[in-house]
Amino acid sequence: MCGILAVFGCIDSSQAKRSRIIELSRRLRHRGPDWSGLHCHGDCYLAHQRLAIVDPTSGDQPLYNEDKTVVVTVNGEIYNHKQLRAQLKNHTFRTGSDCEVIAHLYEEYGENFVHMLDGMFSFVLLDTRDKSFIAARDAIGITPLYMGWGLDGIADYPAGSIWFASEMKALSDDCERFMTFLPGHIYSSKEGAIRRWYNPPWYSEQIPSTPYDPLLLRRAFEKACSGLSLYSLNSAVLKRLMTDVPFGVLLSGGLDSSLVAAVASRYLAESEAACQWGSQLHTFCIGLKGSPDLKAAREVADYLGTRHHEFHFTVQEGIDALEEVIYHIETYDVTTIRASTPMFLMSRKIKSLGVKMVISGEGSDEIFGGYLYFHKAPNKEEFHQETCRKIKALHLYDCLRANKSTSAWGVEARVPFLDKEFIDLAMSIDPEWKMIRPDLRRIEKWVLRNAFDDEEKPYLPKVIHLLLLNMFNHGLMLYIILLFLSQKEQFSDGVGYSWIDGLRDHANQHVTDAMLMNASYVYPENTPTTKEAYYYRTIFEKFFPKNAARSTVPGGPSVACSTAKAVEWDAAWSKNLDPSGRAALGVHAAAYEEAADPKPAKPMNGLRLITDNEDLAIKLCCGEPCRLTS
């Protein structure tokens, strides 16, 4: 990740203003510690803090077209830049940077080229010939971008100078008004307005009807296939191996990160990256000692043969980092802070190993309805509409966390599940296939699990875990599900359950009952309803005290990461608005109880059964002895 800052229409174009722009740009240096650049053109400034991932030697920014009349500062990666370069045969490129193609696409197509970019990006482009400019953000908002208005401004900018920055901290002092720049949008100075450039069919939330094709879904994520567009010749995972620096995969041991690691490991040897950095994949995990994530990640890493790096932290170390975390991630959202803190600590460890890029599993739960509360979706229409709402809000939650927690230490996070074409394919599936149906043995994200369930060449270890042991009138019924089919665990829970408990205890020591009772007077907007939320809010307000800053953070009721609309699915949820995944554990268990068949379960041949009492397990599973190994 890099850091960008751009300012247009300043009254003051003196050396003092230039120095001020440099000073503000330095606030983003953690995002790009490798080099700094600044282009000035009259009252226009484009600054850049570079994290060198592709073409480290010659790709410094800002970047230009042939005669330097077009200037661009970019944060992100353009995965199809080689294919785009091949189409721009009449253009001369100065560097090997993947981002330089943006300047030449503008020359060729004007402002109507953003849809051609396959990648994650936020950029600002200046055309010095008429002093017009555009700013754009990728489809989902994987990279952050903010827009602000200064108190000064020349005649062409009566509302004040116009600012853009990767993070709010570069705008908050010099702009009275600023806001989150929406994903999938472009601002044009010629039009003086923001418009949406990303218009996929799912955005309207109309219910799709395409039949589920597991092979097509697997290919889109795993390897090249003819169904992908002209601008993308590789899969969601493989294209993200584009790098000239050491890299790895964040592996929690859950389904999503494990699939990313499995695919990357399987095809790494065929990639250009293997020529520089070897064919053994590096994987990384963090947690409290004895946490679920550490154990699960170790099992998957051993199976895949990765070079695995396991990091530990203590509750106190996490608490000590909270202020720094909130400063970097720029939010007071409770679940985001809970999950960002271990990711922030892990990123520091990863950077100390010389790694600058990681691939992560964010986005799958939103696309496939993986959160536990989706068990309560009343029908496929509500299910699909909730997934649409979740994807649209990713830039405020998981994308923000993944990007800013890693960028705080100069590490770039890439997210293959949020590949534009993979999303379009996955969201075109009839949502009936995504519904949680225990009666059909479909748990969360069944369509994804099923797509990668390869008996001949398994992607993940097929170890059976005992998840639920329920008592029925007709005897004991054992629910056994493959690790490959294991239950959803939120990142903030998976690093160790005492982490959240420790945060709550710490907040209780700093926020009194009286303070919480009067919270609506102190914080009338997005009023905190728990002591933990109140504590985070006080830290946020210390760094970002303006109204504009607090308005960039979403609010509203939520249970287990749901949107406010989904809270309506269960009347009891309105009385227990806990954002933790644990709030929906009872929903998960109840769903399987309702679908339970009192008849003995059939044996699952060829699979090993893991339990503390194998004789009991045999009786519960089959009603008679069965083989323990294949």
Residue 142, token pair as written in the block: 């994987």
CB neighbourhood size of 278 (10 A): 13
Q: Are strands 63-64 and 44-50 parallel, antiparallel or unpaired?
A: unpaired
Find out whether the peptide bond into 246 is cis, omega within 30 degrees of 0.
Answer: no
198: nearest Cα among 262, 118, 134, 264 = 118
Distance CA 406, CA 346 (A): 8
396 Cβ partners below 8 Å, 6+ apart?
A: 180, 331, 333, 553, 554
| Catalytically annotated residue among 2, 10, 388, 561 | 2
Q: Supply the Cα-derived Rg of the chain in whole angstroms.
A: 25
Q: Which one-letter DSSP state was computed for residue 571?
A: G
Question: What token pair was written down for 36?
Answer: 């700094």
Tokens representing residue 453 in the block: 């369930």
CA distance linking residue 129 with residue 608, whole number of Å: 69
Specify the DSSP class assigned to residue 46. Answer: E
Are 297 and 242 in contact by the 8 Å Cβ rule? The answer is: no
Rounded distance, CA 61 to CA 54, Å?
12
Q: Quick one: tokens of 603?
A: 């044996």
Q: What are phi and psi of 224, to 5 degrees?
A: -60, 145
Quote the Cα angle for 400-406-412, to 5°. 95
Q: Which of 238, 262, 260 is nearest to 454 (CA)?
A: 262
Per-residue DSSP letter, 267: H
Element (H, E) at 434: none
* Burial (CB count within 10 angstroms: exposed 0-12, middle 13-18, buried 19+), residue 301: buried
Can you say how many angstroms the Cα of residue 494 is from the centroid of all Cα atoms in its chain? 17
Calpha distance 584→574 (Å, rounded): 13
The rounded distance, in Å, linking the Cα atoms of 553 and 583 is: 22
In whole angstroms, give the CA distance from residue 385 to residue 187. 28
130 burial (CB, 10 Å; 0-12 / 13-18 / 19+) is exposed
The answer to whether residue 2 is catalytic is yes
Alpha helices in 95-225 (DSSP H): 101-109, 214-222
CB atoms within 10 A of CB 93: 16
Q: Per DSSP, what are the bridge partners of residue 468?
A: 479
Q: Which of 436, 439, 469, 472 is nearest to 599 (CA)?
A: 472
Q: Which two tokens stand for residue 581?
A: 């995944």
Residues labelled catalytic: 2
